[in-house]
Amino acid sequence: MQNRLLNFCFYCVLALTFINCANRGNITGGEKDVTPPKIRYSEPANFSTNFNSKEIKIYFDEYIKTKDLTKQLVISPPMNTKPDITPLGSPSEYIKIKILDTLAPNTTYAINFGNSIVDNNEENPYPYYRYVFSTGDYIDSLSVKGSVMDAIKRTTDPFISIHLYEADSTYTDSIVYKENPKYITNTLDSTTNFKLENLKAGAYKLIALKDNNSNNKFDQKSDEIGFYEEFITVSADTSAFYELKIFKEEIDYKAESARLVSGEKIAFGFEGEDYKDMTIDLLSDAPKDYSYSYFKDEKTDTLNYFYKPKLEVDSLVFKVTNRTKIDTFTVRIKDNKRDSLLVKASPSSNIDFFETLKLSANIPISKFDKSKITILDKDSTKVSFTTKLDTLQNTIEVDFDKTEDNLYKIQLLPSTITDFYNLPNDTLNFNLRTVKESGLGNARVILKNATYPLIVQFLNKTGEVKYEQYATTPKPLDFFFLKPGEYYVRVIYDTNKNRKYDSGNFLKKQQAERVSYAKKVEEIRSGWEVIIDFTLN
């Protein structure tokens, strides 16, 4: 009995000892690791000369991995065959670079990893690591610096590539479409500044490129481009700072395709904004009463072409001309059903005080009778209006004065619109409302240090233009009936006086029109008026 008592006491003391030890502190896992990995050494050593190795290994003091390597990695000059770099996401104590290309003689290469090298646990980056080597007996050491900004948008996208092309006897502007640059870097994601390093002295063309295809070449359809007008000189003088503005070029016109989409309706696809000079001519034999009409599709880069009478043929041949460009298309003809006339209104519910009603049809409008349109307000009072037919867009613009908190009933009687096939519309009714003025705000913009003419715009946070005025003289601009919200105010310097923003063009050596943003976002409140003093740089 006594032994049992002693054993019981022994176990109680032991248990209390463990409890006491356990209460001395809580297990937290220690402090978070915020220390980036460190390089122990590399083989061959960084900044090696007379480099002739096919493999590079860079050893670290802990396990590392690569993150977003395809975005961050920049090799200058670019290699025709990209090296094989491991690891890709898996942990390792070293990075291995296997060179698959034939390196140019007497050339300094730089492999810039950006922030893609991170430790395995907390992903602390080893920032902006560059491995540099020369196939000659010295390392080029000159540099070029500058900044990039978007020509029209308020913010500039990350990962803008900066290219240098040698301005030698073989240089032509078309090189940006065909060949890799001599040197390359990018702005990464933290700043719009750039610095090209380890350069050889000489004259170069300086290009900025939002390279969405990641091929180091300019693709007009997908990429944005910026350029410095003159050739730059790379020398020991590092005081120069180059500012570049990138822009999206208007795509050059190109006829793409032609196909039958419904009975006696053919879609002619194209690229580019220069479609207004397109003409479509039938080359096939046709009866004397053959006629046609076409207009631009509302949503796509297409001209919708309609013809009559119906032809019992297997195919039709067309010539599409745009100034000096001529294309020929053969369209297979089938016995498809013809479209029925549809008319829609835009807007379809609420309408702003200065907004125009647009009536659009899916078949060319051949006749239009304004006298068969009636507009009544909520008191059943007739409202006067004006109309305008836009044949290229196939729309009827209906403009009328509006008052607050009103309901407008628009009626189109039968035969208001007669389409290309001599078919009329049925009775159409549309209802539009205006809001109360008390629910809207006003703004007065006072421009200082301005050069006219200017386009003054209010943009929402997504960059969509919501309100706009054209200014030709120095006087305050009043914007009435603005919807509450936050807006950015933008000014476009309309240099060529065509009342729209014109982007640049690299081959034409044309920069985008200048744009300025007000420094802060403006809040428009219901029932308030804001005065915006905008001093232009």
Spatial distance between the Cα atoms of 259 and 266, rounded to a whole number of angstroms: 5
The two structure tokens encoding residue 41: 């050494």
Predicted pLDDT at 511: 97
Residue range 142-246 forms a domain whose CATH class is mainly beta
> Cβ–Cβ contacts within 10 Å for residue 241, how many?
10
Residue with tokens 């479609």, as numbered in its chain: 275
Condensed to tens digits (0 to 9), the pLDDT of residues 142-162 reads 999 999 999 999 999 988 999
Predicted pLDDT at 9: 46
Q: CA triplet 327, 329, 334: central angle to 5 degrees?
A: 160
* DSSP 8-state assignment for residue 249: P
- Domain residue ranges of the chain, discontinuous segments joined by +: 39-134, 142-246, 254-332, 343-435, 439-535
Superfamily of domain 439-535: Carboxypeptidase-like, regulatory domain (2.60.40.1120)
The two structure tokens encoding residue 428: 């159409």
The two structure tokens encoding residue 216: 């180091």
All residues at 6 or more sequence positions from 352 whose CB lies less than 8 Å from its CB, including other chains: 434, 481
Sheet with 241-246, side-by-side order of all strands: 193-199, 142-150, 241-246
Q: What is the 3-state composition of the chain as percent helix, strand, coil, each rounded to the nearest 5? A: 5, 45, 50
> CA 31 → CA 22, 34, 35, 122, 480, distances in Å?
20, 9, 11, 12, 57
Residue with tokens 């990018």, as numbered in its chain: 186
Predicted pLDDT at 68: 87
Sheet with 395-399, side-by-side order of all strands: 343-346, 357-361, 395-399, 386-390
Same fold, 142-246 and 343-435: yes
The two structure tokens encoding residue 449: 């240090």
Fold for 343-435, please state it: Immunoglobulin-like (2.60.40)
Pairing, β 485-493 against β 522-524: antiparallel
Predicted pLDDT at 21: 46
Pairing, β 241-246 against β 142-150: parallel
Predicted pLDDT at 16: 47
Spatial distance between the Cα atoms of 516 and 151, rounded to a whole number of angstroms: 9
Q: Which stretches of the chain drop beneath a pLDDT of 50?
A: 1-6, 8-10, 12-27
Predicted pLDDT at 30: 55
Q: CA triplet 231, 232, 235: central angle to 5 degrees?
A: 145
CB 72 within 8 A of CB 57: no
Instruction: Report the DSSP beta bridge partners of residue 65.
Output: 118
Spatial distance between the Cα atoms of 510 and 512, rounded to a whole number of angstroms: 7
List, as one string, the DSSP characters of 299-330: SSSEEEEEEES----SEEEEEEEETTEEEEEE
* DSSP 8-state assignment for residue 536: -
Q: Report the SS3 class of residue 66.
A: strand
Spatial distance between the Cα atoms of 398 and 405, rounded to a whole number of angstroms: 20
Predicted pLDDT at 29: 52
Query: Which CATH number describes the domain made up of 39-134?
Result: 2.60.40.1220
Of the candidates 477, 476, 456, 475, the residue with the CA atom closest to the CA atom of residue 466: 456
Choose which CATH entry (2.60.40, 3.40.50, 1.10.10, 2.40.128) describes domain 254-332.
2.60.40
CB 379 within 8 A of CB 344: no
In angstroms, how far is CA 96 from the centroid of its own chain?
A: 36
Predicted pLDDT at 355: 94
Q: CA triplet 309, 310, 313: central angle to 5 degrees?
A: 125
Q: Which helix (H) or strand (E) holds 161?
A: strand 161-166
List, as one string, the DSSP characters of 399-456: E----TT-EEEEEE-TTSEEETTS-B---EEEEEE---GGG-EEEEEEEES--SSEEE
Query: pTM of whole model > 0.75?
Result: yes
